[in-house]
């Protein structure tokens, strides 16, 4: 794998990408690596919303409690942790 490492003035890099204001007028180290193609997702390639929702089903146990009642129950259960 080929890697490029350069030290560059932050002000010239700020015209290319957004950087924190604290980087202004500083030298930055830039390391360029090739992206792992297997992990890249193209713009047109998104996960099906249904499959995402299905993966979450059962993550939180279903109860007949209202959201406020569930919140109060959890706060009482974990108040000793504070």
* Phi, psi at 34, each rounded to 5°: -70, 140
Helices (H), the chain: 10-13, 49-56, 67-78
**How far is Cα 54 from Cα 57, in angstroms, rounded to an integer?**
5
Please report whether residue 64 resides in a domain: yes
pLDDT of residue 38: 62
Please report whether residue 29 resides in a domain: yes
Instruction: Report pLDDT digits (tens) over 23-67.
Output: 889 999 999 888 876 655 555 455 667 676 666 666 666 677 788
Stretch 56-81: mean pLDDT, rounded?
73
Supply the range of the domain harboring residue 66. 4-34+48-81
Please report whether residue 43 resides in a domain: no
pLDDT of residue 75: 80
Count how many domains the chain has: 1
Please report whether residue 42 resides in a domain: no
Whether the pTM exceeds 0.75: the reply is: no
* Structure tokens, 22: 């604290």
Q: Which residue has the higher pLDDT, 21 or 74?
A: 21
Please report whether residue 69 resides in a domain: yes
pLDDT of residue 27: 93
């Amino acid at each position: 794998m080929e890697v490029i490492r350069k030290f560059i003035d932050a002000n010239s890099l700020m015209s290319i990408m957004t950087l924190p204001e604290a980087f202004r007028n500083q030298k930055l180290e830039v390391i360029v690596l090739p992206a792992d193609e297997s992990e890249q997702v193209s713009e047109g390639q998104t996960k099906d919303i249904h499959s995402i929702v299905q993966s979450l089903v059962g993550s939180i146990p279903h109860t007949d409690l209202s959201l406020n009642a569930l919140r109060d129950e959890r706060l009482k259960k974990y108040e000793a942790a504070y």
